[in-house]
Amino acid sequence: MNIVLMGCPGAGKGTQSAKLQETFGLKHISTGDVLRAEIASGSELGQQIAQIIDKGNLVPDGLMISMLEKIVRHTDQGIIFDGFPRTVAQAQALDEMLQRFERSITCVIMITLPESEVVGRVSLRRQCRQCEEILHVEDPGETRCPKCGGELYTRPDDTPARVKHRLEVYHCETLPVKNYYVNSGKYVEVNGNQTPDQVFKDICNVLEKVK
């Protein structure tokens, strides 16, 4: 089973990917995490990537596709693609890549969220410097990770101004990907404006039909 998980910033792709990974034993590939790991490595490439991500822009297709291909090549399990494809060129490259590896997309799940919810949701998202857990705080002043006590921080691309820009990028670059998939018969929308457990239940119902 190979699942493409789509949705605007804050839609809950990361949260649902973690649940899917645990329940179905799939490999979770988050291109955002792949890029952040490259940044954390301190490489020159990582420094260039940081400049792009921190502004809320997309990393060039060629680079993103080759980074993803290296991971897919070494993965035998089913995959959750979280945050990829983000452009039509990436969607075409993914089809071509999967065909080469004798795989195919089982299902494209779009987690929908009203735009009015996005900035509020993302403004409560924090990451722990120590255990790298991503979580949603109830109190914006919360500074300590409830799991390990590490320091919480807001990703530079999660500030309200950056989120608004990322939404614009999403509209221009990523929504056309939806049209790319709509006619494939594999595209399904799930309402992301519910509790994470309810969203997951809806996703499982979708997967039950396509498995």
Comparing every residue's Cβ against ligand AMP, the nearest one is 32
| Binder among 3, 28, 166, 190 for ligand AMP (CB under 6 A) | 166
86 interacts with ligand AMP by CB under 6 A: yes
Neighbours of 61 (CB within 10 A): 17
**Nearest-CA neighbor of 108 among 177, 49, 57?**
177
The residues, any chain, with a CB within 8 Å of residue 97's CB and separated by 6 or more, are: 65, 68, 69, 72
- CB-wise, 1 or 63, nearer to ligand AMP? 63
For the bound state, the minimum distance from the C-beta of residue 209 to ligand AMP, rounded and expressed in Å, comes to 27
Backbone angles phi, psi at 79, to 5 degrees: -125, 145
83 interacts with ligand AMP by CB under 6 A: yes
- Between CA 82 and CA 199 the distance in angstroms is 16
x-marked contacts with ligand AMP along 32-71 as a string, rule CB under 6 A: x--x----------------xx--xxxx----x-------
- Between CA 141 and CA 119 the distance in angstroms is 17
For the bound state, the minimum distance from the C-beta of residue 55 to ligand AMP, rounded and expressed in Å, comes to 8
- CB-wise, 11 or 190, nearer to ligand AMP? 11
| Whole-Å CA distances, 111 to 14, 44, 149 | 11, 34, 31
For the bound state, the minimum distance from the C-beta of residue 78 to ligand AMP, rounded and expressed in Å, comes to 19
For the bound state, the minimum distance from the C-beta of residue 160 to ligand AMP, rounded and expressed in Å, comes to 15
Indicate the residue type of 120: G
Would you mind telling me the total number of residues written for the chain in this entry? 211
181 interacts with ligand AMP by CB under 6 A: no
- CB-wise, 53 or 113, nearer to ligand AMP? 53
What does 136-166 look like in DSSP terms, one character per residue? Answer: E-SSTT--B-TTT-PBEE--GGGSHHHHHHH
- Residues annotated catalytic, as ranges: 13, 86, 125, 155, 166
- CB-wise, 20 or 64, nearer to ligand AMP? 64
Residues near ligand AMP, by CB under 6 A = 9, 31-32, 35, 52-53, 56-59, 64, 83-84, 86, 90, 157, 166
